[in-house]
Amino acid sequence: MAQNLPMTVEPRISFAIGNKIVYVVNDNPNSKYIIDGYSFEGKKIYSFCEKYLPFKYDSKKDIEALLIEKTIYEGDLHVTTDSIYYINKRFGTIHKFSLDGKELCRINIAPILGVNENKKIQKNIEMFIDNKYIFADHNNRIAKYDVFLDSEVEGDFVYLLLDQHGIEKNAPINKIDIFKIDTCDYKLSARYYYPLEKKEWVSKLAVKSKDLEVFYVDIKSKERLDIISLKYDKK
């Protein structure tokens, strides 16, 4: 019987597995790269995606550098048969790499997002890039704005489950909002909505796209947790 051994890696934000490699978005402030690739035995094979945000950490601020790294580079990783995608949650960028770590493109998708998402991106830029203000609460959580909650890559498309917080009125937006982005030109291919009741929240998205677009989404409230499937004709 094969022995299952724990695998220890550097501090990480998210991970994905593909091509017999464990890819990790790390939050190590001492590393010059965002993504590390590990063997299943825990040996680091290579690192790629050099840190690109012009953020200079002020050591006089009473916030750990590791927490800030985790906040500004928080994002999702996806591995396909021939590509790796890193999608940043703070600034609306999609990075595509070959399996050997070469960056194929870096796309700013802010122009195709809505007003609410662009205001969040601008607030994050003011806080973390312009370094105007950064603060943490009593639980040492750094204030930030999420552009999206979860993402999936299916076929030639990236799907984003948008965050429900409305920045203009500082109130929840009571609907599921899913963006479908074509990776051939990185333009908006379709957008899907589903109404929610008050005090209902979503956080996770799974996609199955064949004859129909099928989305699996969790809907949470104080009383229950439901997993629903939403089916749409392809657009």
Phi/psi of residue 68, nearest 5 degrees: -70, -40
CA 65 to chain centre: 20
Q: How far apart are CA 147 and CA 229, in angstroms?
A: 23
pLDDT at 159 over 70: yes
Q: Are 35 and 52 in contact (CB under 8 A)?
A: no
C-alpha distances in Å from residue 41, one per residue of 30, 37, 51: 23, 11, 26
| Predicted pLDDT of residue 218 | 95
**In this predicted structure, what is the pLDDT of residue 201?**
94
| Closest to 85 measured CA to CA, from 189, 10, 181, 210 | 181
Mean pLDDT, rounded, for 87-115: 96
| Cβ(86)–Cβ(97) below 8 Å | yes
Strand order in the sheet with 12-18: 12-18, 21-26, 33-38, 44-50
Mean pLDDT of the chain, nearest integer: 88
Q: Summarize pLDDT for 11-54 with one digit per residue, the tens.
A: 568 899 998 999 999 888 888 999 999 998 889 999 999 998 87
d(CA 39, CA 221): 39
127 confidence band (pLDDT: 50, 70, 90): confident
Q: Give pLDDT, residue 60.
A: 45
Higher pLDDT, 1 or 78: 78
Of 71, 103, 106, residue with least CA distance to 90: 71
Task: Please check whether residue 86 is in contact with residue 103, taking contact to mean a CB–CB distance below 8 angstroms.
Answer: no
pLDDT tens digits for 171-222? 999 999 999 999 999 999 999 999 999 999 999 999 998 888 999 999 999 8
Judged on CB neighbours under 10 Å (0-12, 13-18, 19+), 217 is buried
Q: Is the pLDDT of residue 114 over 80?
A: yes
Give this prediction's pTM. 0.89
% of residues, the chain, pLDDT over 70: 86
Tokens of 138: 């009593």
Position 209 scores a pLDDT of 85
